[in-house]
Each structure stands twice: as structure tokens, then as C-alpha cells.
């Protein structure tokens, strides 16, 4: 396998070499993947069929669910297959595509979360101008920009990462082609281009984070001035799920990509990779549905087979 990977691909070490643990990992990932597919497809279906949810907030939520659906499909099915087949081999082409789609979708997710925070800011702090600012044309342009920006980011990382000469055995201590793990295989003197791309991507993500923080500072300062407890509860029910998703995704991803690289991969490293690759796409539908009365009402209509207006 070492000779094979040195020529044509990589060896993904995954979570364990023990056969029973590999089967357990495959089953757990399969259940998680099915839950993520079901939850995100439900949100896409509900926000498409129910015309009462054809507002900018739910339009962006539908695209977040679509991103989550694609994001978890990049890594988890491959990992399940590798565990069931007891074979961690992944070809060079598959690894390049995995890096491209992983970075593209992760970047798009950060961008759509930023757009969603701005949408909540305009809705709460500038309600009289909301329909003018967040008109359908502006929303479509924002979503197009999100997908294009993510695609360009993925293209830059994939092109730069796999143009670097690799030294030594092509063994990746991860369950997917993770960029930091791929860079560990690179020759030390060829890092400058990837450092430049990573610095640009990190700076862009930091700007998005600052925008989200500033939006929520303004939102919470406005909410505290609402006299009725019912009004504050309604605002928090739409803002807190989004804030939790942003915090969880960015903190886990930031820890993984900004920490100093280590020679050996620990169980904690694998757990953190799960925190930003598997858990967010699975939890997002639950988080957005449980605290949103409109989503729960639409979900009840689907389960009771009622017609949407």
C-alpha cells in the first residue's frame, strides 16, 4: 500500500485499524449521514413548498441547508466506504476533488452565515427599510456571490496544494483529505504559495466573523430596548439558533486550521475534525427548527399531509 500510494494516491488512516471499530465507525457515520440528509432535505422542501416561508431569512436558510447537504456528502460517504471495505486508499484525483469541494463549501457556508446575520440586522434594526434592502434581486445576487466566492476559494486551495512537491510516504492521518494533513506531506521549502492563499482565506473569514459580531452587537442592543417580553422572545428565537451555529462552526474550524501542526495525530484532532465536518450539517436543521414556530408549523403540515397555502 505504501508503494501504491507513493505513485498514484494517498492512504487515509481513519480512526482505527481494528476491524470491529471500523464497522462501528461506519455505522455511526451512516446514521449521522442519514439524519443530516433527512433534516436538510426537510428544510429545503418546507421552505420551497410553504409560500409563507418565502422570505429572505428562509431563502438563505434553504441555501444553508443545501450547502450542509453537499458539505457532509464530500467526506462522510467516502469514509463509510473505506471503513466497510477496510481500505483507506484514495486516488489523487479523488483527493483533489475532495479538497476543492470541502474548501469551496466551507467557505460558502461562512459567507452565507455572514449574509444571514446581515439579514437579521436589517430586519431588526432597520425594519422600515427591510423590504427595500433585502429585495428578491439583492437576495439572489447575495446567494450567487456566496457560491462563486466559495468556488474560487476551493479552486485556489486545490490548485496550490497539489502543485507543491510531496516528500515521503503519502499517508494522511485523517478520515478525509484534510488540507493541514496534506500540507504535512509537502516538502518544507515549497510552502510560500499555500501560506499566501491560507492567509488570504483566513483574513476573509476573519472579516466575516467581525461582520457577524458587529451585526449581533447592534441586534442585541436593539432587542434590549423592546418593551415587551414577547417581542424579545420572538427576536431571540430567530437570532440565537443562527448565533449558535456560527459560533460552533467557526470555533471548531478555526482551532483546527490555526493551531500549530503536530507530527502525530491524536484522538482529539480527529474529534475536532468531526466537530466542523459532521456535527454542524447534522445539528443545523434541528437547531433552526426547534426554536422557530413557523418551521415547526410547516413541519407539522408535512407530517399530517396537509396542503400548503
Q: Which domain holds residue 86?
A: 15-292
Question: Is residue 23, in this structure, part of any structural domain at all?
Answer: yes
User: HEC string of 262-308?
Assistant: CCCCCHHHHHHHHHHHCHHHHHHHHHHHHCCHHHHHHHHHHHCCCCC
What's the confidence (pLDDT) of residue 157? 86
What's the confidence (pLDDT) of residue 258? 64
Cα–Cα distance measured from residue 185 to residue 22, given in angstroms and rounded to the nearest whole number: 25
Cα–Cα distance measured from residue 16 to residue 25, given in angstroms and rounded to the nearest whole number: 9
**pLDDT tier, 299 (very low <50, low <70, confident <90, very high otherwise):** confident
User: What mean pLDDT do residues 141-156 have?
Assistant: 93
Question: Is residue 226, in this structure, part of any structural domain at all?
Answer: yes
**pLDDT tier, 180 (very low <50, low <70, confident <90, very high otherwise):** confident
**pLDDT tier, 222 (very low <50, low <70, confident <90, very high otherwise):** confident
Question: Is residue 304, in this structure, part of any structural domain at all?
Answer: no
Phi, psi of 291 (to 5 degrees): -105, 15
Decide: 296 and 91 in contact? Cβ < 8 Å. Answer: no
- The rounded percent of the chain whose pLDDT value lies above 70 is 83
User: What mean pLDDT do residues 48-60 have?
Assistant: 87
What's the confidence (pLDDT) of residue 35? 93
What average pLDDT does the chain have? 82
Is this structure's pTM higher than 0.75? yes
Question: Is residue 309, in this structure, part of any structural domain at all?
Answer: no
Q: Which of 2-11, 62-71, 188-197 has the highest mean pLDDT?
A: 62-71
Question: Is residue 298, in this structure, part of any structural domain at all?
Answer: no
User: What mean pLDDT do residues 154-165 have?
Assistant: 84
Whether residue 189 has pLDDT greater than 60: no
What's the confidence (pLDDT) of residue 186? 75
What's the confidence (pLDDT) of residue 85? 86
How many domains is the chain built from?
1
Question: Is residue 230, in this structure, part of any structural domain at all?
Answer: yes
End-to-end CA, the chain:
58
User: What mean pLDDT do residues 254-270 have?
Assistant: 63
Helix (H) or strand (E) holding 109: helix 92-125
Whether residue 231 has pLDDT greater than 70: no
Question: Is residue 167, in this structure, part of any structural domain at all?
Answer: yes
Q: How far is CA 163 from the centre of its chain?
A: 25
Instruction: Give the CA radius of gyration of the chain.
Output: 21
Question: Is residue 10, in this structure, part of any structural domain at all?
Answer: no
Asked whether the CA dihedral 43, 47, 53, 58 is positive or negative, the reply is positive
Whether residue 82 has pLDDT greater than 80: yes
CATH number for the domain harbouring residue 284: 1.20.1070.10
**pLDDT tier, 2 (very low <50, low <70, confident <90, very high otherwise):** very low
Which positions ≥6 away from 153 have C-beta within 8 Å? 103, 104, 107, 201, 204
- Residue 90 or residue 300, greater confidence: 90
What's the confidence (pLDDT) of residue 105? 94
Amino acid at each position: 500500500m505504501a508503494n501504491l500510494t507513493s505513485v498514484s494516491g494517498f492512504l487515509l488512516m481513519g480512526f482505527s485499524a481494528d476491524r470491529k471499530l471500523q464497522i462501528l465507525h461506519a455505522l455511526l457515520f451512516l446514521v449521522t449521514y442519514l439524519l443530516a440528509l433527512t433534516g436538510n432535505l426537510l428544510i429545503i422542501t418546507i421552505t420551497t413548498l410553504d409560500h409563507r416561508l418565502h422570505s429572505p431569512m428562509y431563502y438563505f436558510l434553504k441555501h444553508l441547508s443545501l450547502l450542509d447537504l453537499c458539505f457532509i456528502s464530500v467526506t462522510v460517504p467516502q469514509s463509510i466506504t473505506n471503513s466497510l471495505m477496510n481500505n483507506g486508499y484514495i486516488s489523487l484525483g479523488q483527493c483533489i476533488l475532495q479538497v476543492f469541494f470541502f474548501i469551496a463549501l466551507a467557505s460558502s457556508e461562512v459567507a452565507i452565515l455572514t449574509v444571514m446575520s446581515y439579514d437579521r440586522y436589517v430586519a431588526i434594526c432597520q425594519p422600515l427599510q427591510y423590504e427595500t434592502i433585502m429585495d428578491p434581486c439583492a437576495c439572489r445576487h447575495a446567494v450567487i456571490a456566496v457560491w462563486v466566492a466559495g468556488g474560487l476559494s476551493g479552486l485556489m486551495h486545490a490548485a496550490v496544494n497539489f502543485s507543491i512537491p510531496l516528500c515521503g510516504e503519502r499517508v494522511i492521518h485523517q478520515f478525509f483529505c484534510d488540507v493541514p494533513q496534506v500540507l504535512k506531506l509537502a516538502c518544507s521549502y515549497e510552502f510560500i504559495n499555500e501560506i499566501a492563499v491560507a492567509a488570504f482565506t483566513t483574513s476573509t473569514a476573519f472579516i466575516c466573523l467581525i461582520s457577524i459580531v458587529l451585526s449581533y452587537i447592534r441586534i442585541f442592543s436593539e432587542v434590549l430596548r423592546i418593551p415587551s417580553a414577547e417581542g424579545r422572545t420572538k427576536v431571540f428565537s430567530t437570532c440565537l439558533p443562527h448565533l449558535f451555529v456560527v459560533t460552533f462552526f467557526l470555533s471548531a474550524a478555526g482551532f483546527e486550521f490555526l493551531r500549530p501542526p503536530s507530527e502525530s495525530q491524536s484522538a482529539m484532532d480527529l474529534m475536532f475534525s468531526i466537530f466542523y465536518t459532521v456535527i454542524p450539517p447534522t445539528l443545523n436543521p434541528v437547531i433552526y427548527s426547534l426554536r422557530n414556530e413557523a418551521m415547526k408549523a410547516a413541519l407539522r403540515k408535512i407530517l399530517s399531509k396537509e396542503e400548503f397555502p
